[in-house]
Structure 1
């Protein structure tokens, strides 16, 4: 993990930049705001831009944590009880704007029409009733490690999270595919398209307000009959990864694929380590090189719970054009 600690001058420059430009933005999920975020991202401190660019190019570790930004806890107010209950206008608008600027240095933020009602910026927080679900809104269950949106061919290249608060030190877990030592016979199988990944539950109709239309029909089809894919791909000596074991299947009778998947999962389990995000920390995860999850914690549901902001980043927005209703619509449907 590579950690970038902002110094006092960099924090001051970032806060001054937010002061200067915040008034130029309307709703942050519009194409105009995203263009402005890309423009103003180039005014972030030079060293911050240089390190994030190095990370984008794969020159740094697959996990980057940027620390030192200060969150005004009184301004952001209590943690909502549900992502639908986020205050409007957002009390964490400054943090969301900084999130978009950092994301714009990596690529283009995008949304899913089938996740959190198509919002570009997600709220990750514990929801009462989700305690034992395989969702980012769970708490008491182990959120099994995974590639973000592993089931979908248009999944993001990077995942970016900003921590508003984490009072009990809930642990994010991360693991690197590069760190795995696998027998060549297992690696051979993992490079073959013999594995299915079903959509995770955040994309299902039951977890969205308006769950009609072709996008949800496609999700249902992916759930019924996932397309066989390879777990490892790219350079054999430094492979990329696409996996979500909790939602993965192999063809009936393919014992070799099942054994390889089990060996892969055990090897990754043995290599996972913890990252505790504090107030004002931003973490960037390379979604092709690293898997992530979260350890259980006890939610309070009293307005003081862990609260993260999340966006997905693609390095090639054009590849999803056929799945977006319009050029200036960032939601894949």
Structure 2
């Protein structure tokens, strides 16, 4: 496995002038917008993103249009550690916006260059920007807030038809250089028969635990209703394909920890095992250091995290996460209004 020095990682290093300009823009916007959920900010984001350095805009445009690279990184942001303060103990109950609001706004601008930011009513109480840091009671769970256990590689929200097109991870800090694992797919070594099977609806992927009521705040019937669709997916286990798009260069939706193959479908099991081994063998490590923003194509790449020792002393790895869709309209049936960005 390798890290960001690997030549296959597409990266852009900010100049000192670019980093300073981005930091100044992020701070400036905190005076104009009250939160990352502000509808005016969501309306203005594409216009504001045009104020980012031209080199950054060209880099992300190329990443999007090439439709080949599974991930890319922009390095060298000025994330003010004194202003941001210590890594929190939990995402629940935090004041919003917090001291890291400028960095959250920056991720919203990056999202606007790739599509539209959106969130889940069933994840982190409906926030559009998520916190990713170790939480003691989740250290053994298959969650981004875990630490002791391997976070198995996966497509983000692979179970859902309206999952992200892109995922943005901004590293506020990562002093222990905890690696993100990343992997892609080259189907050249798969048989034509297995590829055909993997394109067929013969596999079930259950929702991951971040979408369950136990990991969200439930205070009444309205909150309980948000999880009806998630529970239906758990109960019904709808079947779907694991590959889609071009058979020569397919997209993928994979989440081995939550995937099941119908009992008795030996051909599907064989094809799935071959696919799993192929992707697993190609996994590599990418360290998102402080000031790095990692962009993941959720059709092209799977990602996870290696185990690490959390300190719970305010110094732990802290990422910010934003989900991005290239077509907000396709999820309209699951959003309360055309204006809302929350699915569920």
For the aligned pair, the TM-score class normalised by the smaller chain equals over 0.9
CA drift of 1:184 comes to 2.1
Q: 1:270 aligns with which of 270, 278, 281?
A: 281
**Aligned partners of 2:166, 2:137: CA distance in 1, in Å?**
29
**Aligned partners of 2:93, 2:204: CA distance in 1, in Å?**
34
The 10-residue stretch of structure 1 (59-68 or 106-115) with the greater mean CA deviation from structure 2: 59-68
Q: 1:188 aligns with which of 184, 196, 220?
A: 196
The 10-residue stretch of structure 1 (253-262 or 234-243) with the greater mean CA deviation from structure 2: 253-262
TM-score by length of 1: 0.97
Structure 1 residue 164 corresponds to structure 2 residue 175: no
Contact 1:37 1:97 in 2 (8 A): no
Partner of 1:248: 259
CA drift of 1:85 comes to 4.2
Superposition map of 1:1-333 within 5 A: 1-59=9-67, 61-178=69-186, 181-210=189-218, 212-333=223-344
**Aligned partners of 2:76, 2:139: CA distance in 1, in Å?**
31
Contact 2:20 2:78 in 1 (8 A): no
CA drift of 1:271 comes to 0.2
The 10-residue stretch of structure 1 (126-135 or 174-183) with the greater mean CA deviation from structure 2: 174-183
The 10-residue stretch of structure 1 (257-266 or 90-99) with the greater mean CA deviation from structure 2: 257-266
Which secondary structure does the structure 2 equivalent of 1:79 belong to?
A: coil
Contact 1:176 1:271 in 2 (8 A): yes
Contact 2:187 2:249 in 1 (8 A): no
RMSD: 1.4
Contact 1:172 1:293 in 2 (8 A): yes
The 10-residue stretch of structure 1 (43-52 or 174-183) with the greater mean CA deviation from structure 2: 174-183
CA drift of 1:181 comes to 2.7
CA drift of 1:11 comes to 1.1
- Pair 116,271 (structure 1): closer, same or farther in 2 beyond 3 Å: same
Which secondary structure does the structure 2 equivalent of 1:23 belong to?
A: coil
Which structure 2 residue ranges, 5 or more long, are not aligned?
Answer: 1-8
CA drift of 1:179 comes to 6.7
**Aligned partners of 2:157, 2:289: CA distance in 1, in Å?**
25
Which secondary structure does the structure 1 equivalent of 2:247 belong to?
A: coil
Which secondary structure does the structure 1 equivalent of 2:131 belong to?
A: strand
Paired residues, number: 333
